[in-house]
A = this chain, B = another copy of it.
């Protein structure tokens, strides 16, 4: 019943362009400090799962970067998707490999690119969730909302079922999709809604059974892979099977349908750092609310995010709520309230044939 972690590193992180690029997505960037998001995630889960029991699922384009970032992980535990198919296939693939290693493995899966500064608190909640998984329940961490966030999905918790290490485990009433503003306000006031941070803990075999129940097409594909696992044919079959798997999230494909889920209400600071605009929420800012990195000269600037680490001085004067990101070959200027639109720029760059900047 060893505890493993599965770090999902398949994201493209386009909302951090021009820092992020096709070959250097958010999880491979040091967005929140001097270590990459992936490295920080690996070090955080090391409290419950040492590198020998850490797995990473990533795309082919990022395999080399992931291996370079996490050289202490066993090479076979970097699982490479030929193409991204959302989280259900990703988790199914990891569960398949885990079961092959240890039929009784318990796994936590989590995104590679969230910001969680309190590793100790994170570890305690993980252990509580592991207890839930050992008891036979797919268990998720749900973050106590601190604001009426419309960018996250929510989990409604029901009655408390048990406890572990002083932390309660509740039954999950239901998963709900990203709400509108008014609904988010209600969720915040209600107290029984938690943010869905995409962190799940389960027995690997249980997850495969749940996939068989709710996503038979995915299960069928995974069975083809299982037949060749550990053989020279694996790579070829993976390349053949994987692109045909249904592209669906684990939330929609499994969690919303599976009975008996548990959730650990969690209070540690957490952010998915969805864009440059989220950085000042998780990192120290100056007296004027600015987050300034690199060689910045700010005058009468307020609530700005300036990342000038490309070796060039960046002078910002008299601006408010502005994001300025400088890199050696591209520069971005956008208001914080448009930060979610950064990804759309990539379509324009594509149209203009600027592939080298993607």
Contacts and interface: CB of A to CB of B under 8 A. Distances in A.
Nearest to A338: B318
Given A317-B338, A318-B338, A338-B317, A331 B345 contact: no
B334 A319 contact: yes
A347 to B, nearest CB: 10
Chain A interface residue number, banded: 35 or more
Contacts of A357: 313
Contacts of A341: 299, 317-318
What copy number does this chain have within its complex?
A: 2
Nearest to A342: B317
A315 B333 contact: yes
A315 B18 contact: yes
Interface stretch (A108-116, A217-225, A320-328): A320-328
B335 A308 contact: no
Interface in A285-322: 297, 299-300, 308, 311-319, 322
Nearest to A328: B312
Contact of A312 (B319, B331, B335): B331
A91 to B, nearest CB: 35
- Kindly name the residue among A318, A326, A348 whose own CB sees the greatest number of chain B CB atoms within 10 A: A318
Contacts of A352: 297
A357 B328 CA distance: 18
Nearest to A311: B329
A312 B352 CA distance: 15
